[in-house]
Structure 1
Amino acid sequence: MATNTHLVRLPYVVEFTAREEEVAALRHEVRTHLDTWGLRRLVDDAQLCVSELVANVVAHVGVGTPTTLSVGMNGTFLRIEVRDPDSRALPTLVAADVEAEGGRGMALVAAVTERWGVSLLGDGKVTWCEIATGPTSSGVPDGSHRVTRTEAMRGLYGVVGEEQVGRSVGLVGALRGEEAAIHIITDLLHWLAAHGRDADEVLDRAQVRFETEAHRTSWD
């Protein structure tokens, strides 16, 4: 069956004031529109991009900045744009080492998109990114992008190998460890769902195993 992801669609555009509390509503609107467009499998990546691009405005331009979000189609790509009035505070992609305080947001965007960039305007800038819609088959979710994302996040979040267990090693500091774990677990749950597994059952089994091992360790 031919995919309908190549059709031209009018972009969803919303003007808002850049505040952290606005992000939840924006994410909800993105989900609603992508569901309507038949792009449900791109919801998580699109929501992540919206969250990070808006957070970038809040952090580097300022709370209360008048901002515009646009989500539309650019050929076979889902294009997300966030416009703000400051052409000086440009987002950058930096190596997220232990001491890094910035750059991780755009590293996340880079990990889940095909490309991203900044377009300077006379009255501000547009930070944009594009997610490949790719060919889809009727009623069958395509989980391949989840595999790519998970592999990218292994390095991004400092997932260490068995040979490094017990060392104080990793790209993510202790204060960001919880956030890293949540992202990694979420992607693993998507991978399980894509392979027909019951994510809730796996979570329950993992919790039981964790508690059993923690109890055993406390008695050793």
Structure 2
Amino acid sequence: MAIEHCMPRKAWHLPFLAEPGEVPALRRSMRMHLTRWGLPDLIDAALICVSELVTNVIVHVGAGTPTTLAVSMNGTYLRIEIHDPDRSGLPTLLGATTTSESGRGLALVMAVTDRWGVMPTDAGKTTWCEIAAELHRADAHVGGPEVDRAEALLALYGGSVPRGNSSARMGLAVRQEAAIAVIADLLHWFSAHGQEPDDILDRAQMHFEAVAKPLR
């Protein structure tokens, strides 16, 4: 059974006032969404982009400017956009030196992304950047032997779970039910062989935390 819609990633946006105090909250939102999207490897680069692009608005447009952070998937690229109301000053990449006090922000963005740009809009401008994800399609999960083995198990167990429709939301619900069935059956197996299920869960959690990449 092929599992459809492995990881739905719905675009989101967050209006805010461009103030230095807003940057930590924006970074937390970005970290939370990328964690939920199963894209932990993109978090560090995405946080740099948020910090630098918002700082660019604060410095060059003005503190307190109504601004919007918008995040989406453009194919297999993570796309980050900052919308602000100023069309007059389009940011450009400067030849910043080690002693320059300006021009470093976009240089950092360029260093950690695959492409970036600026677009004038009716409401002002959009500064955007994109980061390639290791995906074969926009709603796929990031691979790895552990994930691939789990995917195969969920495909087997998912065949016995009724499916009302093929929407991304229902696909995720089916996989969750299949995962619960896998875990429950394994706990029954251990119990039947004289093992304490809680001990197995604790050991599994420890193994997961030891293998999983820390989210800084």
TM-score range, shorter chain: 0.5 to 0.7
User: How has the CA–CA distance of structure 1 residues 95 and 49 changed in structure 2, closer, same or farther, with 3 Å as cutoff?
Assistant: same
User: How has the CA–CA distance of structure 1 residues 95 and 69 changed in structure 2, closer, same or farther, with 3 Å as cutoff?
Assistant: same
Cα offset, 1:115, TM superposition: 0.2
State the partner residue of 1:79: 79
Post-superposition Cα deviations, 1:187-217, rounded to whole Å, max 9, x if no partner, equal: xxxxxxxxx9xx9xxxxxxxxxxxxxxxxxx
- How far apart, CA to CA, are the structure 2 residues paired with 1:74 and 1:8? 13
- The unaligned stretches of length 5 or more in structure 2 are 136-141, 147-210
User: How has the CA–CA distance of structure 1 residues 137 and 113 changed in structure 2, closer, same or farther, with 3 Å as cutoff?
Assistant: same
User: SS of the residue aligned with 1:134?
Assistant: coil
- How far apart, CA to CA, are the structure 2 residues paired with 1:108 and 1:86? 22
Q: Which has more radius of gyration?
A: 2
State the partner residue of 1:138: 144
CA RMSD of aligned residues (A): 2.8
- The unaligned stretches of length 5 or more in structure 1 are 141-195, 200-220
- How far apart, CA to CA, are the structure 2 residues paired with 1:90 and 1:60? 10
User: How has the CA–CA distance of structure 1 residues 133 and 63 changed in structure 2, closer, same or farther, with 3 Å as cutoff?
Assistant: same
Q: Report the AA paired with residue 11 of structure 2.
A: P
Post-superposition Cα deviations, 1:116-175, rounded to whole Å, max 9, x if no partner, equal: 0001012200000000002442268xxxxxxxxxxxxxxxxxxxxxxxxxxxxxxxxxxx
User: How has the CA–CA distance of structure 1 residues 139 and 55 changed in structure 2, closer, same or farther, with 3 Å as cutoff?
Assistant: farther
Contact 1:5–1:133 (Cα < 8 Å) also in 2:
no
- How far apart, CA to CA, are the structure 1 residues paired with 2:100 and 2:30? 30
> Matches of residues 116-127 of structure 1 in structure 2 within 5 Å?
116-127=116-127
Task: Please tell me whether residue 23 in structure 1 is matched to residue 29 in structure 2.
Answer: no
Q: TM-score, normalised by structure 2?
A: 0.60
- How far apart, CA to CA, are the structure 2 residues paired with 1:111 and 1:60? 21
- How far apart, CA to CA, are the structure 1 residues paired with 2:95 and 2:5? 34
| TM superposition outliers: structure 1 runs of 4+ over 3 Å | 4-8
Higher relative contact order (CA 8 A, sep 6+): 2
Percent identity between the two aligned chains? 53
